[in-house]
Chains A and B, each alone.
Chain A
């Protein structure tokens, strides 16, 4: 374990924790602008977290210890995910701990934890949210794996850092398979992060919610951790997208100069990604819940197509 590796690892984790609410704030701000609204400002998610951490938690009488534990499990899982995705540099100490398949597993763990917590309380909405979350998840995960596999086939490794090094730092090549994988990944990103058209993060209608329905009973620090974890998840997904599809600018091992450039480049990419996501979310309406399997099925199909193209063209 190199000193540089440890340094980049810690720096990247801290940056992920700090930048995740920023990205969400930027996304919401772009949405507001696109709807001709002023918006609450980029710093709004930070304000919300601050507010929630200062409140006293109210916990349902029927809650078991599981209900209290889940926010921490969720937050921990998302921190781990953000640690192993190379967003600043490819030399990460934790990267050997988990590869692309394990990454999908971490997301699955978080999903199961929050679904159990949702059902733990025994309200109708919790059960409804958990059920819908599983409906989306059981198709989103394989689609995500297909995308990661396509990239793994190119670099002949399931390690995320190796994938990024291959894509970013070897001689430039155009991979048609990655185009299909890119479409699939975008769809998975929207579905997994409770964004439109699968879920509506701004909805106040409890009957239509997926993610929000599961966390209706949470308050104060628990809710803050969950909200924070959700923004880290979104951030992790976007940085996976950046690492796989536009990896240029991510620093290599022991590249101090590269590190200095990596952060501004990352922020620039995040700004573009946030604006793009906001545009998509402004243009589409929310689909009926039973369109979600169709939507995820399409994503899966694109993922498989990407792999097929790779085998056909050898690239």
Chain B
């Protein structure tokens, strides 16, 4: 990565920014693709008299954020180079009305339920869309029929619409329709103080509240040019790993349940509940919400709490190992998991499959290993990968990551530095970014701050990369296996729809 005028930000993660005018926009994308990098996020903003579109890439050296002026509200599409760009570009259009050159002009986040282009300074009046404005791609042929599922489901889960083209029980094609959870998060950020923003960031996706608040805090700190105290970093790491463990436990239980093995659900749920209750007792919140704040963390840890977490980790490690054996030895369960919903490593690399699902398809990307910053730079995190790419692989990676997170928790508690848990933040203006490995994958927050108030905030969830990949994962599988495959990815609706 060597682009003229690229500037390293003050972030503790390696993030650079560059102004990409004219052809540079597409050249950077091209060189990223050549070097085996990946596109993380695309978002837009309105500044001064014009619109800008920004893209975040990951090169081997770190992240590069390219900012490109959308001349006359237009810019060149990146979807030929990066398939995951398509939906992000459609979302940019829904939010700001700046036109990508891509072929698919259907809305993505917008369902025509509110003002058009809400992120503009002057949004257009309400625009009403009907279902006819959103044609799904149909498959023709004898015996092919359509199955529409959602957005309201039989169970209590988040809303999303899935349109299957099937012949018999076999899925020929799946098309997702999301955006039902769009709640104007990015618009709400505008004008908030940095502290208010931290609260909102922690509520973007409830299951990743630590990851989002840490990413947001990191972005704020990079604007202010401060580094949080060491003790705060370690506590953030502790929170993040506890969040990861809790979520992986929930997923493993749900995966058993979706395969009709309710025993797994009750066992893993009780383990997860142990973690959440200890969280509540020690830190005051089951999901650890609002604990990571810009400048540090809001709650400290005493010796007694330390001992209790240690003890819990020991018990947890043993019980998860036992349950892993049960899962691995269960013929019926393995029959459902193996070869189901497979994404081959080659396809995963092409689609830019992110995070946990990526690692299960040999896409060895883990921020904690690739670009470790405090506290991970002193922990030597071992990345869990698998070559299978099927549900079984994603189950296996989850088990490995729980074991690793338990080990990291122990290490962080042992080496917890003394000192302050937060520091003062000067009132600054500028742009900053944060980058954290949440339980699903890498979360990025991009922030523009003006005199202590948020001017523009963009949050990226790894689900943007993985939702399109899910459509590939189900091809050739049978309809009743879809819930299991979907669960094995466990993607965020809320973090994606914003």
Q: Which residues in A have some Cβ–Cβ distance to B below 8 Å?
A: 31, 34-37, 124, 128, 196-197, 200, 202-208, 216, 282, 284-291
In the complex the two chains form, what is the Cα distance from A213 to B266 in whole Å? 25
B151 within 8 A of A: no
Please tell me if the beta carbons of A208 and B263 are within 8 angstroms of each other in the complex: no
21 A–B contact pairs at CB < 8 A?
A124-B146, A124-B147, A197-B332, A200-B260, A205-B154, A205-B155, A205-B258, A206-B149, A207-B479, A208-B258, A216-B154, A284-B260, A284-B332, A285-B256, A285-B335, A285-B336, A286-B261, A288-B336, A289-B480, A290-B169, A290-B478
Q: Does B153 contact A (CB under 8 A)?
A: yes
Contact check, A286 vs B260: say whether CB atoms are below 8 A apart: yes
Kindly state whether residue B404 has any CB partner on chain A within 8 Å.
Answer: no
Measured between beta carbons, the chain A residues less than 8 angstroms from B336 are: 285-288
Residues B248-297 near A (CB distance < 8 A): 256, 258-263, 265-267, 270
State A173–B493 Cα separation when bound (angstroms). Answer: 63
Task: Produce 1/0 per residue, B324-342, CB < 8 A to A.
Answer: 0000001011011000000
- Bound form: Cα–Cα A34–B261 in Å: 12
B483 contacts A by Cβ under 8 Å: yes
Complex Cα distance A36/B323, Å? Answer: 14
Number of interface residues of B (CB under 8 A): 32
Q: Does B301 contact A (CB under 8 A)?
A: no
Contacting residues, chain B, for A31 (C-beta < 8 A)? 262
Question: Contacts of B260 on A, CB cut-off 8 Å?
Answer: 196-197, 200, 203, 284-286
* Of the residues A34, A196, A205, A285, contact of B483 by C-beta under 8 Å: A205
A203-B260, A208-B480, A288-B336 known; A35 vs B266 contact (CB < 8 Å) = yes
What is the distance, in angstroms, from B259's C-beta to the closest C-beta of chain A? Answer: 5
Asked whether any CB of chain A lies closer than 8 Å to the CB of B489, the reply is: no
A34 to B145, CA, bound (A): 41
B155 touching A288, Cβ below 8 Å: no
Set of chain B residues within 8 Å of A289, measured between Cβ atoms? 169, 478, 480
CB-CB contacts of B161-189 with A at 8 A, as 1s and 0s?
00000000100000000000000000000
B482 touches A (CB below 8 Å)? yes
> What separation, in Å, do the CA atoms of A291 and B340 have in the docked complex?
14
Q: Are B259 and A128 in contact (CB under 8 A)?
A: no
In chain B, positions 137-154 with a C-beta closer than 8 Å to chain A are 145-149, 153-154
Q: Is B99 an interface residue (CB 8 A)?
A: no
B262 and A206 form a contact (CB under 8 A): no
In this assembly, does B481 line the interface, its C-beta being within 8 Å of a C-beta of chain A?
yes
CB neighbours of A36 from chain B (8 A): 266-267, 270
Residues of A within 8 A of B156 (CB): 204
CB distance from B318 to the nearest CB of A (A): 17
A128 near B479: Cβ-Cβ < 8 Å: yes
Contact B148 A124 (CB under 8 A): yes
- Contact (Cβ within 8 A) B147 A128: yes
Q: Which residues of the partner chain B approach A285 to less than 8 Å between Cβ atoms? A: 256, 259-261, 330, 332-333, 335-336
A203 neighbours in B (Cβ, 8 Å): 260
Closest to B155 in A: A204
How many angstroms between the C-alpha atoms of A128 and B479 in the bound complex? 10
Residue numbers in A under 8 Å from B265 (CB-CB) = 35
Collect the chain A residues with CB atoms within 8 Å of residue B479's CB. 128, 207
Contact of B478 (CB < 8 Å), options: A35, A200, A288:
A288
* Residue from A124, A200, A288, A291 having most chain B Cβ neighbours under 10 A: A288
In contact, B147 and A282 (Cβ under 8 angstroms)? no
Q: A288-B478, A288-B481, A290-B169 are in contact. List 20 more A-B contacts (CB 8 A).
A: A124-B148, A124-B149, A197-B332, A200-B260, A202-B262, A204-B154, A205-B154, A205-B258, A207-B147, A207-B149, A207-B479, A208-B480, A284-B332, A286-B259, A287-B332, A287-B335, A287-B336, A288-B480, A289-B480, A290-B478
Per the 8 Å Cβ criterion, residues 212-248 of B in contact with A are none
Query: Can you name the residue of chain A whose Cβ is closest to the Cβ of B150?
Result: A206
Contacts of A208 in B (CB 8 A): 258, 480, 483
Contacts of B263 in A (CB 8 A): 34-35, 282
CB-CB under 8 A from B261, the residues of chain A are: 284-286
* Closest B residue, CB atoms, query A285: B332
CB contact between A282 and one of B146, B153, B262 (< 8 Å): that residue: B262
List B contacts of A287 (CB < 8 A). 332, 335-336
Query: Is the pair A207, B267 in contact by a Cβ cutoff of 8 Å?
Result: no
Q: How far, in angstroms, from A200 to B148 measured CA to CA in the complex?
A: 22
Q: Say yes or no: A206 contacts B330, CB within 8 Å.
A: no
Chain A residues in 8 Å Cβ range of B335: 285, 287-288, 291
B179 to chain A, nearest CB (A): 21
In Å, the complex CA distance between A128 and B480 comes to: 10
Contacts of A34 in B (CB 8 A): 263
Residues of chain A within 8 A (CB-CB) of B478 are 288-290
Tell me the nearest residue of chain A to B148, going by C-beta: A124
* CB nearest neighbor in B for A35: B266
Cβ–Cβ < 8 Å partners of A197 in chain B: 260, 332
The list of the 8 closest CB pairs from A to B, nearest first, reads A286-B260, A204-B155, A285-B332, A208-B480, A35-B266, A205-B483, A285-B261, A124-B147
For B146, the chain A residues whose CB sits under 8 A away are: 124
For the complex, give the distance between the alpha carbons of A282 and B332 in Å. Answer: 12
Q: How far is the CA of A202 from the CA of B263 in the complex (A)?
A: 12
A206 contact set on B, CB distance < 8 A:
149, 153-154
Kindly list chain B residues whose C-beta atoms are within 8 Å of the C-beta of A207: 147, 149, 479-480, 482-483
B322 to chain A, nearest CB (A): 14
Docked CA distance A146–B448 (Å): 75
* Alpha-carbon gap, A34 to B146, bound state (A): 39
Q: Which residues of B contact A216 (CB under 8 A)?
A: 154
Q: Closest B residue to A208 by CB, please name it.
A: B480
Tell me the minimal C-beta distance from B271 to chain A in angstroms.
11
| Closest CB in chain B relative to A213 CB, distance in Å | 9
Min Cβ gap A118→B in Å is: 14
Distance in Å: Cβ of A182 to nearest Cβ of chain B: 22
Residue ID in chain A nearest B334 by CB atoms: A285
Q: What does the 1/0 interface line of B456-493 toward A look like (CB < 8 Å)?
A: 00000000000000000000001111110000000000
